[in-house]
Each structure stands twice: as structure tokens, then as C-alpha cells.
């Protein structure tokens, strides 16, 4: 999963769905646990409690002052300032300690891309080629663009559309983006994630409905920017 963005309702819905689909051994998280959403602290706690393997996103490090918010748009920067004030010292320590990349079981995890781990949007063939060149594993998992896709080396990008839309892990090398849990941007407001079956060597993409109104109500009460509230129901 990637880009939870402080959306606890969406995170819970995804975990419940994954358990219904047979459960999971590990959670791999490609960053941006916080930023935008109304529950940054509880989302950090949940990701940590699941003993997830997690890499840093631009919002994670911005929330703890490790990167500048000058490159953020004004609404995102306002949400980062609000998020900063919600985190406990322990949660800040967790976010600060997240690495830029990690390798585990034949997969490399990174938020953006391997040539620019927290900033580059991996959405075109040039960026994909650069990451394939740098990647030392058969599989690379990314987030950041909030766009779910499968990118096969030598073939390019394919959009995935939930409902268990699947892809074989190998023999071709792959870059996968599971889409965003907490702020999808592909026109479908439902939470987006993938289940990887390491034994069967396959990945499956799912969309999960969650109580968007509940998240939006919390954002209103927190005084978060109106456009960030509205976009959740529009899925962009």
C-alpha cells in the first residue's frame, strides 16, 4: 500500500478487506502515511503496530521538518503544518527514521522513484527506464502519483482497475503502484491497494469503499482546507 495520508477510515477498510481475502503476512508501505488527512497519529501507530516495512514519503518527512514545504502547494503545506502539531514525539521519531528505499523478498520499495526517492512522479517511460536501471530486484514498488498501475520492462504502463485485476510477478521485471489508500487521484474515490501472493508469484489490485463522509467530517472539524475535503469524494 501507499499514500495513506492520515485517512484512518480508508486504512481500516483496506486492512479489513485484505483479511477477508485470506489475510497477509506482511504490510509493505511505500510512504506518505501522513499529510492531508485528519488522523496522522493513529495511522502512524497502525502502520507501526502492523510491523510494516515502510519507506519515507515527501509528506512524512515534511511533517517532521526533514524536508522543506516550499515545494508544496498552499493547501498541502497548510495540512503539513496542522499534521506537524498533531504528532507525538514517538510518532515523529518513527517518521524521521523511515529510510528512502528498502529491499525485501525480491522487491525494492520506494515512494517516488529510485533516482529521486521522495520527489519524482514515476508516470512516464523515461522515469520507468531509469528506475529499472537502478533496481537490483525483479520487482519495484512505488507510490507518490496516487495512480495505480503495472509497468512491465520493455512493454510500458498498464492501468489496473480493481476487482482483483492481476499480474504475474515475473519473468518480466515490474514496477507496481498500488494506488493511494487515503486520497485516490484516478477518478475512483475508493481506497486502492494491491495484494501480493509471493508463493503464487502474482499481484492483485483492489478498490475498497470506505466511509468517506466520516473522514470529511473530521477534516471539517479540524479546519483542514476545503479543497482537500472535497477531493476525497471526487477521487482526484
* Contacts with Zn ion, residue ranges (CB under 5 A): 3, 32
Grid cell for residue 48 = 507501526
- CA separation, residue 178 to residues 223, 227, 236 (Å): 29, 24, 15
Nearer to Zn ion, 32 or 39 (CB): 32
Taking a C-beta distance cutoff of 8 angstroms, is the pair 193, 224 a contact? no
C-beta of 76 vs 203, nearer to Zn ion: 76
Report the nearest approach of Zn ion to the CB of residue 143 (Å).
6
Q: In whole angstroms, how close is the CB of 32 to Zn ion at the nearest point?
A: 4
Q: Is the peptide bond before 171 cis (omega within 30 degrees of 0)?
A: yes
What the block records as the C-alpha cell of 139 is 520487482
Closest contact distance (angstroms) between CB of 102 and Zn ion is 18
Q: Are strands 53-54 and 28-29 parallel, antiparallel or unpaired?
A: parallel
Q: Which is nearer to Zn ion, 53 or 177 (CB)?
A: 177
Min separation Cβ 120 and Zn ion, Å: 13
CB of 76 to Zn ion, least distance (A): 9
Residue 8: count other Cβ atoms within 10 Å of its Cβ: 22
Q: Given the complex with Zn ion, which of 95 and 169 has the nearer CB atom?
A: 95
Cα–Cα distance measured from residue 110 to residue 56, given in angstroms and rounded to the nearest whole number: 8
- Residue 74 or 106 with smaller CB distance to Zn ion: 74
Which residues 6+ apart lie within 8 Å of 129 measured at CB?
none
Amino acid at each position: 500500500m501507499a499514500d495513506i495520508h492520515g485517512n484512518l477510515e480508508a486504512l481500516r477498510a483496506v486492512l479489513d478487506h485484505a483479511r477477508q481475502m485470506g489475510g497477509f503476512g506482511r504490510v509493505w508501505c511505500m510512504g506518505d502515511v501522513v499529510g492531508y488527512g485528519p488522523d496522522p497519529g493513529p495511522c502512524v501507530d497502525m502502520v507501526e503496530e502492523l510491523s510494516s516495512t515502510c519507506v519515507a514519503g515527501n509528506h512524512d518527512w515534511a511533517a517532521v521538518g526533514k524536508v522543506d514545504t516550499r515545494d508544496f502547494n498552499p493547501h498541502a503545506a497548510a495540512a503539513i503544518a496542522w499534521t506537524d502539531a498533531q504528532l507525538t514525539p514517538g510518532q515523529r521519531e518513527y517518521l524521521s527514521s523511515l529510510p528512502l528505499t528498502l529491499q525485501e523478498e525480491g522487491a525494492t520499495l520506494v515512494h517516488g522513484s529510485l533516482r529521486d526517492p521522495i520527489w519524482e512522479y514515476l508516470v512516464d517511460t523515461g522515469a520507468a527506464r531509469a528506475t529499472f536501471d537502478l533496481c537490483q530486484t525483479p520487482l519495484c514498488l512505488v507510490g507518490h502519483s496516487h495512480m495505480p498501475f503495472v509497468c512491465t520492462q520493455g512493454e510500458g504502463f498498464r492501468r489496473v482497475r480493481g476487482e482483483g485485476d492481476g499480474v504475474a510477478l515475473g519473468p518480466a521485471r515490474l514496477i507496481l503502484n498500488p494506488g493511494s489508500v487515503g486520497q485516490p487521484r484516478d477518478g475512483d474515490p475508493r481506497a486502492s491497494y494491491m495484494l501480493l501472493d509471493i508463493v503464487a508469484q502474482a499481484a492483485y489490485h483492489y478498490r475498497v469503499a470506505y466511509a468517506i463522509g466520516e473522514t470529511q467530517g473530521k477534516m471539517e472539524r479540524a479546519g483542514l482546507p476545503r479543497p482537500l475535503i472535497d477531493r476525497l469524494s471526487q477521487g482526484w
